[in-house]
Structure 1
C-alpha cells in the first residue's frame, strides 16, 4: 500500500483535486457564473488528460476514478440543464396511466400537486408549452426513475443518475473490448469515460445520451463479432432512446455489400458466380438487419401509436430544425447571409434545406465510401454525425457525446477538442438573461472545424502533438 501511494502520489493528488473541483461544480455553481464554470472545467479537463497520460496502463485506477467522480454528483440537482424536470413530468404521466405524447404540461389545470407545479415551473415555459420529443424507451426509463424516486424530485434524480452510471460502465466494458478487437490502445476509452464533459453533462445533468451510447457501443461490438441480429436489436433500442442513431442506418449499406474486396481476382465464370452469391447473401443480411432494427423501434412505439401521437411527435421534432437556435456553427453564417439578403431570420427555410443536405451527404458516404471494416464504418459514422452537427441549428453541449465516443475508435481527435470548447456555449447564460457570445462560438467552430479538416486532408501536420501518436 505504501509503495502504491509512493509510486502514484501525483496521480492521487490529481484525483483528490478532481474530487474537490467536481464537488464545487456539482453543489456550488450557478450556470450564470461563466468564469467559475469555465475555470473549474478547464482544471478538470487538464486533470483528466494528465491522469490518462500517467496511468494509461492502470485500468482499475482510471476506472475507479471515473466511478468516484460520478458518485460526487449523486445527490446534486442538475445545475446546467432544466430537462430533468420534463423527464420526471413525463414519467409521472406514464405512472398515472396517461400518454405523455398527447398533451403539453401547460394544458393541465392549475389544481396540480405541489410537485407537479414545481416540475412545470422548473422545466421552463419553452418545455412546458411543447409536446415531448423523447422516444418510448427513454420514456420507460423516466417512468422507472420516477417510480423509484417516489414523490421526490431529488429521489427521481438519484434514480436516473444510477442509470447513467450503469450505462457508462457498460460503455467502458464494451468500448474497451472493441478497442482491443480493433487492435487500438485500450486506454483510449477513458477519453470518453474519464472526460469531465461526459461526467458533468451526462451523469451530472442527466442527459440520456449515456444510455443511448451504451446500446450503440454494444451494437457495434456485436456487429464486429458478426452477431448482427442482436446488433440490430440493440441499435433499434438505441434509436428508441434517442433518435440520433437513425443517421447511421444508411451507412451500413456499404458495410454489408462491400465487406469483401473482389479486386485483382481471376476473371472466370466460377469466381463471378461465387461473387454474385456472396453479394446476394450480404444484401439479404442487410435487409434482415434493417427489418430487425425497424421492428424493434416499431414495437417500442406501439403502446403510444395514434394519429395524434404522430402529429405531436413530428411537430416536436420539427421545432429543433425550424424554431430553435443555439450554439450553431455553419448555420449562423447562413442566417447572417439571410439577414443581408432577405432582412429577416430564414431559419424556417434553412431548417428544411440543411437536413436535406445532411441526407445527401450521408447517402454519398453510404454509397461511395468503402466501409468494408468495423473501423472504417466507425470512421464514416463519425464523419456523418459531425457534419450533421456542423450544419445543425441547435447544438447543445451534451450532443457532442456521440462524436466524442466514436472518435475513441478512430485516429481523429477533433471531437476531444470539441468536448472542451463546447463548454464555451454556456457563456450565453448570464444574470441578465440569455445572450449568446458569437465571438466565443466562432472560436469554438473555427478551431474544431479547422482541426477536423486538417485531420482529413493534412494529418501529418498533427503527428507531433500529444494524443496523435
Structure 2
C-alpha cells in the first residue's frame, strides 16, 4: 500500500499532514519540559488542530487512520515521560513485587529514610517520583500492578527499558480499544471513524502513550465489557469489567446504572461475578494492613489533594470566607455523598435501557463526579472522551483540548507560591461548562421546541 505511487498521489495531502504531525510529536516527546508552558501550549494546540483536519480528510479511510495512529505512538517509544513523574512509582511497585514485597504495605519513604534500597535504582526512582508520592502507600489495583510486574520482569535494571515495556502494553490496549470500539459503533449503527476522536486525539497519545497513564488499559477493558454487554454476553462482560476495575477503580461508579438494562435478577448476578472476580484479583495482596492502607490512600484523593477542580474551588472559597481556613476535610466527606445521590437519581429517574442510553448515563455521572471532585488530573478526562464517542455529546472532546491549561499550574513550580492560577482554571471550566450547558440543556430544549412546532 505505502509503496504504491497511486496511493501517495491519492492521499498526498493527509500524508504530508501526518508527517508534519509526526515531527511535532517528536519535538513534544524529546525536546520539551513541562515548565516550558508557552512551547507546551503552542505544540499541543497545533497538534490538536492538525489532528482535527486529519480526521476530516481521512474519515472514510479507516485502515490508513489506523496505521497513522500506530506511527504517532511509535514516536514516543524511547522517550522518558516529560509531563508526569508517576511512572517512577510504577517501576518501583513492579520491582518490589519481584523482590517478594507487598507494595501495599510499605511506602517508598520507609525504605529510603532508613538507608535501605530494596530494588535496583532505588535512589533514582525515589528522586524521580518525588517525596509526596514516596510518602504514601500505593493505590494501584492488581491488574495495574501486573503491568508493572511485566515491566520489572523484562527490564529489572533499566528505567528506560521499563518505560518501553509499559508503553508497549498501553499501545496494545489502545488498539484493543480501537478493535472493540469499532465493533460497538458498527452494532450501534454509528460512523466507525468516530473512534478516532479518541485513538488519534493528541490528548490520548500524549497522556497515555507518552506519559504512561494506565487509563488506556482500564478503558480497553471497559469498552470490551460494553461491547459484550450489548451483544448479550453479560456474564463475560462482568468478568471483563472486573479487570477494568482492577486497573483503575473509577468504573465502580457505573455499577448502579446497569440495573435498568439487566433487570434485578441479572444485575445481582452481574455484581456477584464482578465482585468475586475483583476480590480474587486482590487476594494475593490481602492482609489486615492492606485494607487500612488502601482505604486511607484512596481517601487522600477526597480529603487532602486538590488540583484543577471547579465546583470544589468555589466551595473552598466560601469556606475561606466564612470560616477563615481550607475546609477540604469537610467538603471531601460531602462530595462522595452528593455523587452517590446523583448516581441514584440517574439510575432510577432516567431511562438507561439501551446501550446508548446506558453509556450516556455513564458520561453524565462521571462528568458530575469530575465537576465536583477535589482533583482532576488531565488524564482523568480519557474515560469521558471514550464514552462520548458512543453518544451525541462533544463537550469531552472540547475538554480534551482545553485540559492543557491545567498544566500551567507548573508555572509556579520553582517559586515560593506554588498555587494554581485560578484565572486559568476558570477559563478552562468556562469553556467546558459552556459547551456542556449548550449540549445538555439549551440544544436539547431547542430541538424539543422545533419538534413541537410541527
For 2:94 and 2:331, the matched residues in 1 are separated by 34
> Residues 372 and 415 (structure 1 numbering): CA distance in 2 closer, same or farther, change over 3 Å?
same
Q: Is the 8 A contact 2:95 2:156 kept in 1?
A: no
Question: Contact (CA 8 Å) 1:454, 1:461: kept in 2 or not?
Answer: no
Q: Secondary structure at the match of 2:207?
A: helix
Give the structure 1 partner of residue 333 of structure 2. 352
Alignment deviations for residues 221-275 of structure 1 (CA, whole Å, 9 cap, x no partner): 0000000010000001100110000000011112223xxxxxxxxxxxxxxxxxx
Give the Cα–Cα distance (whole angstroms) in 2 for the partners of residues 309 and 302 of structure 1: 10
Q: TM-score by structure 2 length?
A: 0.95
What TM-score do you get using the length of structure 1 for normalisation? 0.92
Alpha-carbon distance in 2 for matches of 1:298, 1:85: 27
Output aligned runs, 1:202-217, within 5 Å. 202-217=208-223
* Residue 343 of structure 1: aligned partner: 324
1:118 aligns with 2:124: yes
1:387 CA displacement: 0.4
Other structure's SS at 1:432 match: coil
Measure how far apart 1:4 and its partner are: 2.0
Structure 2 portions without partners, runs of 5+: 448-454
Q: Distance in 2 between matches of 1:103 and 1:372?
A: 44
Task: Specify the alignment match of 1:399 in structure 2.
Answer: 380
Match among 62, 75, 79 for residue 76 of structure 1: 79
Matching of residue 156 in structure 1 with residue 162 in structure 2 = yes
Match of 1:436 among 420, 424, 433: 420
Listed one character per residue, the Cα deviations across residues 114-137 of structure 1 (whole Å, up to 9, x for unaligned) are: 601100110001000001110111
Q: In structure 1, which of residues 16, 29, 37 is the aligned counterpart of residue 40 of structure 2?
A: 37
1:132 corresponds, among 135, 138, 159, to 138
Does residue 11 of structure 1 match 2:14?
yes
Where does residue 272 of structure 1 map in the other structure? none
The 8 Å contact of residues 202 and 398 in structure 1, kept in 2 or not, is answered as yes
Q: How far apart are 1:368 and its partner, in Å?
A: 1.1
- Secondary structure class of the residue paired with 1:226: coil
Distance in 2 (CA, whole Å) between partners of 1:76 and 1:110 is 30
Whether the 8 Å CA contact 1:212–1:242 is kept in 2: the answer is: yes
Runs of 4+ in 1 over 3 A off after TM superposition: 460-463
Q: Distance in 1 between matches of 2:371 and 2:101?
A: 37
Is structure 2 residue 101 aligned with structure 1 residue 98?
yes
Give the SS at the match of 1:221: helix
1:101/1:132 contact within 8 Å kept: yes
Partners of 1:341 and 1:65 in 2: CA distance: 54
SS at match of 2:247: coil
Q: 377-386 or 430-439: which moved more?
A: 430-439
- Residue 288 to residue 22, structure 1, CA distance change in 2 (3 Å): same
Match of 2:76, SS state, is coil
Partner residue in 1 for 2:259: 253
SS for the counterpart of 2:104 is: helix
Q: Is the 8 A contact 1:149 1:158 kept in 2?
A: no
Equivalent residue number for residue 227 of structure 1:
233
Contact between 2:225 and 2:238, CA under 8 Å: does it hold in 1?
yes
Deviation at 1:451, TM superposition (A): 1.0
2:287 counterpart residue number: 306
Work out whether 1:365 is the aligned partner of 2:346.
yes
Aligned Cα root-mean-square deviation (Å): 1.3
Task: Report whether the alignment pairs 1:23 with 2:26.
Answer: yes
Q: For residues 353 and 124 of structure 2, what CA distance do their matches in structure 1 show?
A: 52
Change (3 A) 1:462 1:47: farther
Q: Which of 261, 272, 275 pairs up with 1:291? A: 272
Cα gap change, 1:21 to 1:216, in 2 (>3 Å):
same
Q: 1:169 to 1:462 in 2, by over 3 A?
A: farther
